[in-house]
């Protein structure tokens, strides 16, 4: 394909950056003087699916390029919305703001190699040593990515994520004999009162130390509402009269994106309770929660990178507030 364009756009998560993605970006630079790299899953807390910040991924890409090409690449982070429509709109907004854009046309440049970042992440976190892990992915990532990873594994994030990988692997091994991949049903409680939202800090993997909504698994003999109220009380100590809780329930919404949970296929029923104004009841972390706290709604946007799984986005849906990242970006 010899056709030339004013602008090329490459879209990916780049978790982690490998040779197939490097080839895609090189192809973009061959057909246009400027390449916009849209980096998905931005502004998320570190997790096994998203171990690297968008800035770290941009750096992995940048250092892989020849010096002369680095100025020809611009990076645009886009958060996950767990909604195809919202995500596509956000990408369109980013591309529309790109310099030199005059219309757009999708051009298929073909698959650039049969590599999968998920497999590379698995190799990174399961090797008996860092040396073995890096040797396992050598030849599948640019040499500069290997250098980046070698330095990155000395940071505390790596040890914490590796421990989380082991914890999840042990949990998933319990279902190894199942004839079908398991699907779990959970509940969450969004409690909104006096301009505050009730949150917990998770006390165990996955997401240990991350902010989350109070919630847990559906019990066999409970409705989703009963489980939501029970989990709320167990994890935070928050309890009101049953009639008060029923009157405060405004909406129950299902969140079922296949990638919403690190555990696998987890479908949650989020219950939104609006309790109006008044003094905030005392709460305390218990059960699966190491801490419980009332957080001002006005502070939530600046806390996005601290949330477990998709809990920030569940809040976004109920609060009707489009989040703005700490750097002020809009994509």
Rounded mean pLDDT, 51-69: 97
Mind listing the pLDDT tens digit for each residue in 163-178?
999 999 998 888 888 8
Structural domains for the chain: 8-107+115-161 (3.40.50.620), 183-319 (3.90.79.10)
What pLDDT score was predicted for residue 324? 38
pLDDT exceeding 90 applies to what percent of the chain? 75
Identify the pLDDT of residue 1: 53
pTM of the model: 0.87
What would the 3-class secondary structure string for the chain be? CCCCCCCEEEEECCCCCCHHHHHHHHHHHHHCCCEEEEEEEECCCCCCCCCCCHHHHHHHHHHHCCHHHHCCEEEEEEECCCCHHHHHHHHHHHHHCCCCCCCCCCCCCCCCCCCCHHHHHHHHHHCCCHHHHHHHHECCECHHHHHHHHHHCCCHHHHHHHHHHHHHHHHHHCCCCCCCCCEEEEEEEEEEECCEEEEEEECCCCCCCCEECCEEECCCCCCHHHHHHHHHHHHHCCCCCHHHHHHHEEEEEEECCCCCECCEEEEEEEEEEECCCCCCCCCCCCCCEEEEEEEEHHHHHHHHHHECCCHHHHHHHHHCCCCCCCCCCCC
The least confident of 112-116, 137-141, 186-190, 273-277 is: 112-116
pLDDT at 204 over 80: yes
Question: What pLDDT, on a 0 to 100 scale, did the predictor assign at position 5?
Answer: 85
């Amino acid at each position: 394909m010899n056709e030339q364009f004013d602008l090329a756009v490459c879209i990916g998560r780049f978790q982690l950056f490998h040779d197939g993605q490097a080839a895609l970006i090189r192809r973009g630079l061959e057909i246009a003087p400027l390449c916009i790299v849209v980096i998905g899953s931005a502004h998320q807390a570190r997790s096994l699916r998203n171990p690297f910040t968008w800035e770290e991924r941009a750096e992995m890409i940048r250092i892989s390029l020849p010096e002369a090409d680095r100025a020809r690449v611009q990076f645009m982070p886009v958060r996950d919305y767990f909604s195809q429509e919202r995500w596509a709109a956000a990408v369109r907004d980013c591309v529309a703001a790109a310099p030199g854009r005059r219309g757009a046309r999708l051009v298929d440049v073909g698959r650039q190699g049969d590599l999968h970042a998920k497999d590379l992440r698995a190799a990174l976190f399961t090797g008996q040593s860092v040396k073995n892990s890096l040797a396992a992915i050598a030849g599948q990532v640019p040499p500069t990515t290997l250098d980046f990873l070698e330095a990155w594994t000395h940071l505390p994030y790596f040890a914490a994520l590796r421990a989380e990988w082991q914890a999840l692997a042990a949990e998933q091994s319990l279902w190894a004999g199942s004839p079908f991949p398991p699907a779990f049903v959970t509940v969450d409680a969004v409690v909104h009162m006096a301009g505050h939202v009730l949150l917990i800090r998770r006390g165990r993997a996955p997401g240990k130390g991350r902010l989350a909504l109070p919630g847990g698994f559906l019990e066999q003999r409970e409705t989703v509402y009963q489980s939501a109220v029970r989990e709320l009380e167990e994890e935070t100590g928050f309890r009101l009269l049953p009639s008060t809780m029923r009157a405060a329930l405004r909406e129950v919404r299902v969140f079922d994106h296949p990638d919403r949970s690190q555990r696998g296929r987890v479908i949650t029923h989020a219950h939104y309770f609006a309790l109006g104004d008044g003094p905030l009841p005392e709460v305390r972390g218990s059960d699966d929660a190491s801490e419980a706290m009332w957080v001002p709604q006005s502070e939530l946007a600046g806390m996005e990178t601290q949330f477990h799984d998709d809990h920030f986005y569940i809040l976004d849906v109920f609060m009707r507030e489009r989040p703005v990242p700490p750097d002020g970006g809009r994509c």
